[in-house]
Chain A
Amino acid sequence: MSALIEIRDVSKSYERGRQRIEVLHRIDLDVPPGDFLALMGPSGSGKTTLLNMIAGIDTPSEGSITVAGRRIDTLSATELARWRAAHVGFVFQFYNLLPMLTAQKNVELPLLLTRLSAAQRRHNARIALELVGLGDRIAHRPGELSGGQQQRVAIARAIVSDPTLLVCDEPTGDLDRHSAEEVLTLLQRLNREYGKTMIMVTHDPRAAEFARRVLHLDKGSLVDAGASA
């Protein structure tokens, strides 16, 4: 099967004063469709940077990234924004919901960039919230929900526009073990039942066990590859 994501010879470096810091060094990676990949590694290993580049919110200094046959490292900022809206769902460690909006309105946000009618947006948001088990919390604001529930709203927001790819940056990093398991089970279900391709950055080996595949980064390089669950 051809890869959904092809990363070729990707390096990323920053200039800090006169110093050049290389965060990623000549990464090559293929991610097939339907994969659930966990990226692990110590702090500063470059895993979040790699995730950001795959998601199109950062660009490589060298190399190429192709997603679903399209080179994204050459796109302009506006083109990248449109590409992200159509192809990527994001789940953050701290949920990053908008506090003054209800769960439903938060989930509707990505749909504002589509041509769907308001009624259709509401309908789709409700379906996404029901899918993550929060059909009875649509009118609640983030402050009225637990951490686990907020993260599930964030997952609903990530999947509502049916993206090609879901990227999760430490999705359980701010949750207790029980809530973390609920969220990971939900992500696993989205991968296995709905075929969503997922890339997850995590420090937690227990979280990584929910992925199909685990890759380790150290000092900007992929050091090994392994399979899980």
Chain B
Amino acid sequence: MGLRRKKARTLLTLLSVAMAFALFGLLDAVRVAFTAPQNLAGIDRLVVTSRFSIIQPLPFAQLNRIRAVPGVRRIAWANWFGGIYQDPKNFFPTIAVSPQPFLDIHSEIVLSAAERQAFVATRTGAIVGAALAERFGWKPGDRIPLQATIFPTRDGGIVWMLDLVGIFHAAQPELRGMEQQLFFNYAYVDEAREFGQGTVGWYIVQVDDPAHVDRIALTIDRLFANSSDETKSQSERDFQLSFAKQIGDIGLIVTAIMGAVFFALILLTGNTMAQAIRDRIPELAVLKTIGFTRHLILSIVLAESMLLLMLGGAAGLVLARLSLPVLSAASGGQFDLPMAAQTWWVGLALALAIGLAVGLPPALRAMRLGIVDALSGR
């Protein structure tokens, strides 16, 4: 009833609420993308990095000692290459890997048998995800000149010529983000780079039983304790999280931004509700006069406030849901931003809570309204 009284004010408030909740939906999707467990595909995998920093290389000599740890089924190795294609803005993950064990361990990377064979057999071979291939129009047989940002070649050049031997797909839709990556042969890098021979960025260890992940991680780290190359072994999910945390604590950033947004929203809608009730004091007095009880008046005002926030909140979340595929596409699929069910529930619960918080003070005021004073305009 009161919401229709000043339609422009209600509409503008609704838009403010919708924008705040759209922002919440988007940021929470980012948080989920960075922090949620990716998939069951990696639950039997450990990532072994330097204990001190993810960018500190590990000696290749550790390989056989790790492989000998009981419970280790397979081991692959990888090195962040940090290459760019043609232009610095064409940045995407480029990682040098050990082709055979890498593909054996990562069953979620889907390649044809021929492409798989070509990748293993070709020293300069590379495979790219379908989304990345589509982005640059690549097809098998193309030569990709990759510019190094970390590793120049021994002759001082920065261009690494790669032969595209396969285009892979992710085994599951939720892993589509990996289709933005380029993998190429570690042996080629290690042989031709100017420095860093005999080192790897990290080892990827597949264990015989996911239940043994923690025990095996501890065993590996103890193996190299007090050496010059101490290791930090963690589950693949923890590794991804720590990788994301290089950008910052995403959860904290999202919480801080949303805290500021919702604080502003509470002030804005609180002011709007207070003004709306001030405008309607004579009407509320009439309702009380004709027999609406104090609690009924309280309920009416609270319901209006919560309805306003729920409508705006739901509209904002829907807007976020519709925007996420667009944003994912804009990132070239690099970030798959799903709208988790939890985001919906938390968003709607927040809308309800804010509606209650901003509605309660004017509702109490309306409930306590003295009829005689209100009718006489005092």
Question: Which A residues contact B (CB, under 8 angstroms)?
Answer: 52, 55, 57-58, 77-78, 81-82, 84-86, 90, 92, 96, 98-101, 109-110, 113, 157
Q: Does any Cβ of A come within 8 Å of B290's Cβ?
A: yes
Q: In the complex, what's the smallest C-beta–C-beta distance from A75 to chain B, in angstroms?
A: 12
Contacts A100-B1, A100-B5 given; does A84 touch B289 at CB 8 Å: yes
Secondary structure type dominating chain B contacts: helix
For A58, the chain B residues whose CB sits under 8 A away are 371-372
- Most chain A beta-carbon contacts within 10 A, residue among B4, B283, B285: B283
Q: What sequence of 0s and 1s flags, for each residue 253-294 of chain B, a beta carbon within 8 Å of any chain A beta carbon? A: 000000000000000000000000000001101111111111
Contact A52 B372 (CB under 8 A): yes
Q: In the complex, what's the smallest C-beta–C-beta distance from A66 to chain B, in angstroms?
A: 19
Contact A85 B290 (CB under 8 A): yes
The 6 closest A-B pairs by CB, nearest first: A85-B291, A81-B293, A57-B371, A96-B286, A84-B291, A110-B290
Total interface residues on B, CB under 8 Å, equals: 19
Contact B289 A90 (CB under 8 A): yes
- Please, could you name 27 A-B residue pairs with CB atoms under 8 Å apart, sorted by A? A57-B288, A57-B371, A57-B372, A77-B294, A78-B294, A78-B295, A81-B288, A81-B291, A81-B294, A82-B291, A84-B290, A84-B291, A85-B290, A85-B291, A85-B292, A90-B286, A90-B290, A92-B286, A92-B375, A96-B283, A96-B285, A96-B286, A100-B4, A100-B5, A110-B290, A113-B291, A113-B292
Given the complex of chains A and B, what is the CA–CA distance between A52 and B376 in angstroms? 12
For B293, the chain A residues whose CB sits under 8 A away are 77-78, 81-82
Chain A residue nearest to B376 in the complex (CB): A48
Contact A110 B372 (CB under 8 A): no
- Other A-B pairs beyond A57-B375, A85-B290, 18, CB < 8 Å: A52-B372, A55-B289, A57-B288, A57-B371, A58-B372, A77-B293, A81-B291, A81-B292, A82-B291, A82-B293, A86-B291, A92-B286, A96-B282, A98-B283, A100-B4, A109-B287, A109-B290, A113-B292
Given the complex of chains A and B, what is the CA–CA distance between A113 and B285 in angstroms? 16
Q: In the complex, what's the smallest C-beta–C-beta distance from B284 to chain A, in angstroms?
A: 10
Secondary structure type dominating chain A contacts: helix
Given the complex of chains A and B, what is the CA–CA distance between A101 and B280 in angstroms? 14
Given the complex of chains A and B, what is the CA–CA distance between A52 and B374 in angstroms? 13
Contacts A57-B371, A58-B372 given; does A110 touch B291 at CB 8 Å: yes
Given the complex of chains A and B, what is the CA–CA distance between A99 and B288 in angstroms? 17
For B375, the chain A residues whose CB sits under 8 A away are 57, 92, 96
For A99, the chain B residues whose CB sits under 8 A away are 5
For B291, the chain A residues whose CB sits under 8 A away are 81-82, 84-86, 110, 113
Given the complex of chains A and B, what is the CA–CA distance between A72 and B129 in angstroms? 82
Q: What sequence of 0s and 1s flags, for each residue 339-378 of chain B, a beta carbon within 8 Å of any chain A beta carbon? A: 0000000000000000000000000000000011001000
Given the complex of chains A and B, what is the CA–CA distance between A57 and B290 in angstroms? 10
For A92, the chain B residues whose CB sits under 8 A away are 286, 375
Contact B1 A98 (CB under 8 A): yes
For B288, the chain A residues whose CB sits under 8 A away are 57, 81
For A101, the chain B residues whose CB sits under 8 A away are 1
Given the complex of chains A and B, what is the CA–CA distance between A92 and B292 in angstroms? 17
Given the complex of chains A and B, what is the CA–CA distance between A92 and B372 in angstroms? 12
For A100, the chain B residues whose CB sits under 8 A away are 1, 4-5
Q: In the complex, what's the smallest C-beta–C-beta distance from B285 to chain A, in angstroms?
A: 8
For B371, the chain A residues whose CB sits under 8 A away are 57-58
Given the complex of chains A and B, what is the CA–CA distance between A110 and B287 in angstroms? 8
Chain B residue nearest to A96 in the complex (CB): B286
For A109, the chain B residues whose CB sits under 8 A away are 287, 290
Q: In the complex, what's the smallest C-beta–C-beta distance from B120 to chain A, in angstroms?
A: 74
Chain B residue nearest to A77 in the complex (CB): B294
Given the complex of chains A and B, what is the CA–CA distance between A55 and B292 in angstroms? 14
Q: In the complex, what's the smallest C-beta–C-beta distance from A227 to chain B, in angstroms?
A: 30
Given the complex of chains A and B, what is the CA–CA distance between A87 and B189 in angstroms? 93
Given the complex of chains A and B, what is the CA–CA distance between A52 and B375 in angstroms? 11
Given the complex of chains A and B, what is the CA–CA distance between A88 and B150 in angstroms? 87
Given the complex of chains A and B, what is the CA–CA distance between A101 and B295 in angstroms? 22
Q: In the complex, what's the smallest C-beta–C-beta distance from B364 to chain A, in angstroms?
A: 14
- Most chain A beta-carbon contacts within 10 A, residue among B5, B287, B291, B371: B291
- Most chain A beta-carbon contacts within 10 A, residue among B282, B289, B293: B289
For A157, the chain B residues whose CB sits under 8 A away are 290
Q: In the complex, what's the smallest C-beta–C-beta distance from B278 to chain A, in angstroms?
A: 16
Chain A residue nearest to B371 in the complex (CB): A57
Given the complex of chains A and B, what is the CA–CA distance between A78 and B297 in angstroms? 11
For B292, the chain A residues whose CB sits under 8 A away are 81, 85, 113
Q: In the complex, what's the smallest C-beta–C-beta distance from A44 to chain B, in angstroms?
A: 12
Q: In the complex, what's the smallest C-beta–C-beta distance from A144 to chain B, in angstroms?
A: 16
Q: What sequence of 0s and 1s flags, for each residue 281-319 of chain B, a beta carbon within 8 Å of any chain A beta carbon? A: 011011111111111000000000000000000000000
For A82, the chain B residues whose CB sits under 8 A away are 291, 293
Chain A residue nearest to B295 in the complex (CB): A78
Given the complex of chains A and B, what is the CA–CA distance between A110 and B4 in angstroms? 20
For A86, the chain B residues whose CB sits under 8 A away are 291
